[in-house]
Amino acid sequence: MKDILLIGTGGTIASEITEAGLSPELTTEQLLSRVPAICRICRVSCLQLMNLDSTNITPAHWLAIARCVRDNYDAFDGFVITHGTDTMAYTAAALSYLIQGSPKPIILTGAQQPIGFESTDSKINLTDAFTCAAQGLPGVSVVFDHRVILGTRAKKTHSKSFNAFTSINYPYLGVLRDGALTRYITPDCGPAPVFFDALDSDVALVKLVPGMKSEYLDFLFERNDALIIESFGVGGVPEDGDYYPCIERWMARGRFVVLTTQVENEGSDLGIYHVGHRLKKDLGVLEAYDMSTEAVLAKIMWILARTKQPQEVVRLFYTPVARDILRAAGN
């Protein structure tokens, strides 16, 4: 029987009703006591790392979770991390860069309803997560509503429904039915994980809207090392106004720019339209292609904590990690 560490970080799954709304209150031991069948799947040890609504999770917490896994890695066969759903995709992406090539499972799960509610999805999600952990599914993944999603590909696409998460531009790793895991894809792993312990959190994300003034970009560039621009469709910026000169000016000062798209599926392709072509050809902005926004953000934070040399940043960005980018051929 496998030894699995349950790491609690809070979220809806651990919440109870208070006068000010739902708030994380329960410990990992209390969660486990609500699902005694898990103890027939594996041996479980509990560790309460934090107890936060995931809206309050920051990059510092991502580093703390990664350190917790590293510190306990040799003592356990796998890890289940309970987490709030609102930023779970960001945490899953961040852990995919901070803990690379893990042969042991590092599984995030949570719930849309607290474990104490009669209609909760908590118990099945916890059971499924431990099932995957006990079966040795390698790497970082999200297990939710009977689906297994690669950590770099998860996105929350429903705010209330139990099928909260979707795999973006990549197949599901597997599905669970009646306590059994059917694997479609086994994630890549190495003989041992490679841990990283730094992130550059001075990275901003802006969503373009029609008529937005380029001065907003100046404000963000002034305060950050990199700017991710969620543009329209396959990608580009408005030709009217000061967008192009603004980006050119700040890139000359050492800032990095990533162009991605607001559209969830199929990714960017800056070469199609004039509004995007010259950004890629003349300025050399980074293009996200089929990456999720969550993965782009975490990857740039990971890269810029390692280097700010432009050529190395480009190389690392287009080097796939945990199958995060598949359409970067030629870069």
Q: Is 109 a catalytic residue?
A: no
pLDDT for 277-310, tens place per residue? 778 887 889 999 999 999 999 999 999 999 999 9
**Co-location of 175 and 208 in the same domain:** no
CA distance 122 to 117: 9
Pairing mode of beta strands 99-100, 194-195: antiparallel
**Co-location of 207 and 272 in the same domain:** yes
pLDDT band at 329 (very low <50, low <70, confident <90, very high): very low
pLDDT for 167-195, tens place per residue? 999 999 999 998 899 999 999 899 999 99
CATH code of residue 218: 3.40.50.40
Domain range holding 95?
3-195
List, in sequence order, every residue forming a beta bridge with 257; answer none if it has no partner.
Answer: 227
Residue of higher predicted confidence among 272 and 157: 157
**Co-location of 151 and 240 in the same domain:** no
The owner of tokens 């990992």 is: 28
Domain boundary among 151, 177, 195: 195
pLDDT, average across residues 23-45 = 92
CATH code of residue 84: 3.40.50.1170
CA distance 87 to 256: 24
pLDDT, average across residues 235-252 = 86
The whole-number pLDDT of residue 330 equals 43
- What's the structural domain count of the chain? 2
Neighbours of 42 (CB within 10 A): 20
| Annotated catalytic residue, options 12, 166, 261, 293 | 12
**Co-location of 183 and 213 in the same domain:** no
The whole-number pLDDT of residue 174 equals 97
- Does residue 273 surpass a pLDDT of 90? no
**Residue 39 near residue 69, CB atoms below 8 Å:** no
Which residue in 304, 305, 329 sits closest to 318, CA to CA? 329
CA distance 98 to 90: 12
**Co-location of 45 and 71 in the same domain:** yes
- Does residue 24 surpass a pLDDT of 50? yes
pLDDT band at 238 (very low <50, low <70, confident <90, very high): confident
CA distance 270 to 330: 14
Which residue in 321, 326, 324 sits closest to 98, CA to CA? 321
**Co-location of 134 and 229 in the same domain:** no
Mean pLDDT for the chain? 93
Domain boundary among 163, 195, 227: 195
Q: Which sign does the torsion angle of CA 9, 297, 155, 139 carry?
A: negative
Report which DSSP code applies to 210: T
Is residue 328 included in any domain, yes or no?
Answer: no
Three-state DSSP class for 303? helix
pLDDT for 65-85, tens place per residue? 999 999 999 999 999 999 999
Is residue 314 included in any domain, yes or no?
Answer: yes
- Does residue 276 surpass a pLDDT of 80? no
Which residue in 228, 238, 222, 215 sits closest to 298, CA to CA? 228
**Co-location of 274 and 207 in the same domain:** yes
